[in-house]
Structure 1
C-alpha cells in the first residue's frame, strides 16, 4: 500500500467520525509510528491548503486524533427536513431523488444516518415522481451557470400541446413551484420575461448571435416575483380585496403580500387585501369555493363572475 492510499484511508476514517490512534494505524498498515505521524501531518497540511472547515486535533482522553468541524455542522434534524421536503416535491426522477437523498445523508455521521433511514424508508420506497420523467439536475445546473454568466442561450422547447419550438432567451432566474422547476427568461422577440418549464427543455446551447443585454434595473427579481405569482401564472398585477371565511393563515400564506384589513366576528369572516398577478390569484380563489367573496377590483370581479357562470354551465 503506497503512502497516498494510506493517507486517503486515514482521512476517510476521520471524516466518518472515527478516532485514529498512531499505534493502531501503524499496526494496521505495517509501518512505523513515525510514518503515521508524517501521514497525519500531510492530512493537516491538505486541510489548510484546501481551506476545509476542519481541524485535526489530538484528544488525550481518547488517545487519538479526531477531525473537528470549525463551523457549525448541519444537524440530523435539518437533513431529515430537507429529505422530507425533497420527497414531497416529487420533482425529480426516482434515480435522481435516490442520489440526492444519499448525498444529503453523507453530510452527517453514520450513527445519524442510521437513525434517519428507518424514518424515511416507507416514504422513499413509495416515492412517485411527477409524470414527465425528465432528469433535471444537470439542466438546472447548466441554466444556473448561464444565469450567473448572463449568457444568451438557444433552447428547443416542447410547448403544452407537444409543439416543438426554438427560442433565444436570456435566463434570469430558476424558481420551483407546484412540483415543477421553471426558468424565468427574457425573450427579446416578445419584449417580456416568460416562464419555461425546465422539464420541457429538450436541448439548450450557447449562441453566436448578438447577446441579449439587460440593465441592472431591468433584471428580473426572483424574490419579488415569489411574492406575487401563484401557480407560475404571471398575468396582470392587481390589488385585490376579498372576504374570507376559511382558515385565515392559509390565505395569508398563499398571498405573502396579504394583510387583514377588517374583521367580521358575527360572520366568522375577515377582509383581506393583497397584491398579486390576476391569473394565479384567480386559480386559488376559485379553488376556495363558497369560502371566499372577491370584492375588488371591479374588472377582476366581473371576470370571476363570468368564469363561475361558465363553470356552473358544465353542471
Structure 2
C-alpha cells in the first residue's frame, strides 16, 4: 500500500466519526509514529484547503486530545455534501465521448465508473448508447498511466526522456514538463510557456501530444524550473481555439456572419462597430501562433483581416496558394 492509499484509508476511518488512536493506525499499517503524524497532517492540510475554498463548512476539522487520539469533527457535514446528479454525469459522459482521445478499454473504464455513480443508470445509457456503440478512440495504447507519470514529473520537477515522431521524423527528446493541456482531441505535455516557439524546428519543440510520446522514462529529478517558462493554460485558452503557442497580439477583423461565432471562441474579444455592408468589426485578443492563422483561414469569405499586416498578408498568400492547387492562377 502506497502513501496515498494509506492516507485514503485513514480518512475513511475518520469519516466514521469514531475516535481512532495513533497506536491502532501504527499497528494497522506497520508504520512509525512520525509517519502516522505526517499522514494526519497532510489530511488536515487538505481539509483546511477545502474549507478555504468553501467546498467544506468551517466546522470540519480533526480533533486531537493530546494523547494520540484523533476524531473528525462534524463528519456528517461531509457526508451531506451533494454528489454528482444524473444530469451532471450525463454532461460529463457527453464531454468524454466528444474528446475521442482514449482507446476503447480506457474509455469504457472511465464511462462505467461515471455510470456507477448514477441513480438511474438505464436512463443515462439511453442517451449515450449510440455514441458508445460507434466510439473510436484516437490513441491506440493506454494513456492514463502515462498521464499520471507526467503529472508526477511536473510535481517533482523530473526530466523525462522519450521518442517523438512528427512528419515521419523521429527524434529523442529530454524535457522537464510543466503542464498538461487538453484541446482539439489531444492531451499535450508542455515544457515551456504559452508564448514559446511552436512547430517550426522539430528539435526545439515544447509541446507534445502525449499519446505520441514513446518509451517515456524519468532520467533525473529536482530540476530547476525557470519562471519565464511557466505555462499559463487559462490565458492560452482565451487566445486561440487551436492549441498552437504564440505571442499575444490584437487582431482587428470584419466578420460577415453571426459575430457570436467569434465572441464565443475568444472571450476577450469585443464588437467595435457594425459596418455599412452588414459585417461586424471585431477586436480579438489572440496570439500569433499557427492555430490562429488556421482558424482565420478556415473562415474563408466570412472574414476580412484589417490588422496586423503580417496576419493579413499570410491569409492572402494562403488563399493564393490554395487556388493554385486547383490550377487557378492569380495575378499578383
Could you tell me the TM-score, scaled by structure 1's length? 0.72
Q: Which residue of 2 aligns with 1:149?
A: 156
Q: Which residue of 2 aligns with 1:114?
A: 122
Which residues of 2 match residues 289-300 of structure 1 at below 5 A?
A: 289-300=300-311
State the shift of 1:113 in Å.
Answer: 1.5
Determine if the alignment matches structure 1 residue 223 to structure 2 residue 224: no
Q: Which residue of 2 aligns with 1:195?
A: 207
Determine if the alignment matches structure 1 residue 248 to structure 2 residue 259: yes
1:207 alignment partner, SS class: strand
Taking the aligned partners of 2:176 and 2:240, their CA distance within structure 1 comes to: 20
How has the CA–CA distance of structure 1 residues 306 and 100 changed in structure 2, closer, same or farther, with 3 Å as cutoff? same
State the shift of 1:108 in Å.
Answer: 2.8
State the shift of 1:125 in Å.
Answer: 0.9
Taking the aligned partners of 2:319 and 2:181, their CA distance within structure 1 comes to: 30
What is the count of residue pairs matched by the alignment? 254
1:261 alignment partner, SS class: strand
Q: 1:96 aligns with which of 99, 106, 110?
A: 106
Determine if the alignment matches structure 1 residue 47 to structure 2 residue 21: no
Q: Which residue of 1 aligns with 2:97?
A: 87
Taking the aligned partners of 2:175 and 2:228, their CA distance within structure 1 comes to: 18
How has the CA–CA distance of structure 1 residues 71 and 167 changed in structure 2, closer, same or farther, with 3 Å as cutoff? same
State the shift of 1:193 in Å.
Answer: 7.1
Q: Which has the larger radius of gyration?
A: 1
Q: Which residue of 1 aligns with 2:216?
A: 204
How has the CA–CA distance of structure 1 residues 226 and 311 changed in structure 2, closer, same or farther, with 3 Å as cutoff? same
State the shift of 1:309 in Å.
Answer: 0.7
Taking the aligned partners of 2:150 and 2:13, their CA distance within structure 1 comes to: 37
Q: Which residue of 2 aligns with 1:268?
A: 278
Structure 1, unaligned runs of 5 or more? 1-42, 54-67
8 Å contact 2:192–2:229 — kept in the other structure?
no
8 Å contact 2:191–2:229 — kept in the other structure?
no
Determine if the alignment matches structure 1 residue 138 to structure 2 residue 145: yes
Taking the aligned partners of 1:207 and 1:252, their CA distance within structure 2 comes to: 44
State the shift of 1:77 in Å.
Answer: 0.3
How has the CA–CA distance of structure 1 residues 184 and 233 changed in structure 2, closer, same or farther, with 3 Å as cutoff? same
How has the CA–CA distance of structure 1 residues 300 and 77 changed in structure 2, closer, same or farther, with 3 Å as cutoff? same
How has the CA–CA distance of structure 1 residues 151 and 45 changed in structure 2, closer, same or farther, with 3 Å as cutoff? closer
Dislocated runs of 4+, deviation >3 Å: 43-46, 48-53, 190-193, 215-218
Taking the aligned partners of 2:319 and 2:247, their CA distance within structure 1 comes to: 20
How has the CA–CA distance of structure 1 residues 236 and 44 changed in structure 2, closer, same or farther, with 3 Å as cutoff? closer
1:205 alignment partner, SS class: strand
2:176 alignment partner, SS class: strand
8 Å contact 1:186–1:192 — kept in the other structure?
no
